[in-house]
Structure 1
Amino acid sequence: MPSTSFFAKQESFYLTPIGFASNSLYNRHMSKNKSKTTSGTIALNKKSRHDYTLTDKFEAGLVLQGWEVKSLRQGKIQIVDTYVLLQNGEAYLIGGNITPLPSASTHFVTDPIRTRKLLLHRKELSKLEEAVQQKGYTCVCTALYWKKHMIKAEIALAKGKQDHDKRETEKNRDWDRQKMRIVRQHNS
């Protein structure tokens, strides 16, 4: 009668993929092939934080074509002057420039700055529409990022800053930096 360890070894052998003798070799091989992305962020709109006071943030999906996803994997996007248009109960991203890759297929007609549909829940859309129509807010895209295998857009309700507000924000940021330097010097 065979021992249980014999069956355990055989079971382990059968669970490994073809071509590998043991799970440890398989795990070593698979760890080498994993992509090493440090962050899921594709693009940031730093200008929006400077020009606007951002209040509520929302996460929206994007309707993209295949060539656009390939370009986004390479980081070929610019979202500096993007905004969100709310029309007929739907949201659209306007002004995002996705540069097509040079090796892209020639049978596609690529429009780098086409209008892209945003996917939001009905409650989020109604909240955005209400704020834009009644309270004088605008809606801007602040970031694009990966969430698992999907591309998401962070959009925010924004109110425009005047020049004196921008200067005040700069002063506060500089003062915070100076405080941190003083604290570091005092502690060391």
Structure 2
Amino acid sequence: MADKKSKKDTKQQNASIAVNRQVRHEYFVEERFEAGLVLEGWEVKSLRDGRIQLKESYVVIKRGEAWLSGAHISPMLSASTHIKPEAVRMKKLLLNRHELNKLIGAVERKGYTLMPLSMYWKNGRAKLEIGLAKGKQLHDKRTASKDRDWQREKERIMKHA
């Protein structure tokens, strides 16, 4: 019985595929959404192998649909011979109409940006967490860095006291 629980715990830890750490530094993320993705078979195999990079990716809204652009999925060498894998193609994001309307309104009227935050597995399906974000100015980045350093220093002081 204990073996089953430990296997489940390791499966939960491995649920994350990729994280875009740069977003937290460059943007204020105000709201998060979970979206499914339309993927091809070779892309799913590459995701299972962890061959994705979200660093330069972003979310675009075209004709009332959300698309992930700039995400680089490296094709595996054992990919099928009859297809030509395209590493950086636009992938459709699956969101319900209410969420899409909210995102479209925020991006077009309020000047927000949609950024991919992380990709993970949920019930055997790849999910993308996207964030409604506003860009940080240079002084905002400095204050965030100072706050982070002060929190770290405070924890060190409390640990030794």
The TM-score with structure 2 as length reference comes to 0.92
Q: Find the partner of 1:65 among 14, 33, 40.
A: 40
Considering Cα pairs closer than 8 Å and 6+ residues apart, tell me whether 1 or 2 has the greater RCO. 2
Q: 1:83, 1:149 → 2: CA distance?
A: 24
- What do residues 75-97 of structure 1 show as CA deviations (whole Å, max 9, x unaligned)? 00000111111111110000000
Question: Sequence identity of aligned pairs in percent?
Answer: 51
Task: Return the structure number with greater strand share.
Answer: 2
Q: How far off its partner does 1:39 sit?
A: 2.7
User: C-alpha separation between the residues in 2 aligned to 1:122 and 1:104?
Assistant: 34
Runs of 5+ consecutive residues of structure 1 not aligned to the other structure: 1-26
Letter in 2 for 1:79: L
RMSD in angstroms over aligned alpha carbons? Answer: 1.6
Q: Provide the residue aligned with 2:118 in structure 1.
A: 143
Alignment of 1:102-141 (within 5 A): 102-141=77-116
1:172 counterpart (136, 147, 154): 147
User: What one-letter code is carried by the residue in structure 2 that aligns with 1:168?
Assistant: T
Give 1:60 shift: 0.1
Q: Distance in 2 between matches of 1:180 and 1:120?
A: 40
Measured against aligned partners, the alpha-carbon deviations of 1:118-143 in whole angstroms (never above 9, x if no partner) come to 00010100000000011110101000
How many residue pairs get aligned? The number is: 156
Contiguous gaps of at least 5 residues in structure 2: none
Larger radius of gyration: 1
Of 41, 45, 63, the match for 1:88? 63
Structure 1 moving runs of 4+ over 6 Å: none
Distance 1:150 1:82 in 2: 20
